Amino acid sequence: MSQDLLSRIPEWEREAEVFERKAHALRQLIESVRVLNGDAARLFALPETRPVGANQYPTGKGPRGRDAVRAIVATRPGRWLIKDIKRVNRDNGWPSDDNGIETAVIRMAKAGECVKIPGRRGYYDFGGAASSAPASEALAPSASHAREDGV
């Protein structure tokens, strides 16, 4: 064995110790996730991982686009923020993504199915009871402090 190789052994041993500590920590994390039985993402507010290019929402059955928006606003006619319609769509596990919902609402406004509230970004009136409170306030009182820009 050459002297150069022998002189590098202590450095390699230190590196090996570092990697062993990291491997031990990773094994502890793996065991923690197993013990949490799928609740880790919810408990630590981790975003759910998905393959690149995959649809981030379920592709199962359910209304899409304008049909989804109609079904959502039928539960509470009146004024809605687009962000609330998107949230309900996701909560229902319906296949439309957020951009599809926003496009559907804009097309519905152009077709006269709803009215854009002037001066309020992402705020639409879907008829019914003349409500002045957005869905975020009507559905979740704690959300009244959230931005009302439809994002």
pLDDT number for residue 34: 72
20 in the Ramachandran plot: left (φ > 0), alpha (ψ -120 to 50) or beta?
A: alpha
How far apart CA 135 and CA 122 sit, in angstroms, is 12
Predicted pLDDT of residue 59 = 56
pLDDT tens per residue across span 42-86:
666 665 555 554 455 555 688 999 999 999 999 998 999 999 999
Surface-to-core class of residue 98, CB atoms within 10 Å of its CB (0-12 exposed, 13-18 middle, 19+ buried): middle
| CATH tag, 65-145 | 1.10.10.10
pLDDT at 79: 94
- pTM more than 0.75: no
Low-confidence ranges of the chain (pLDDT < 70): 1, 37-60, 128-151
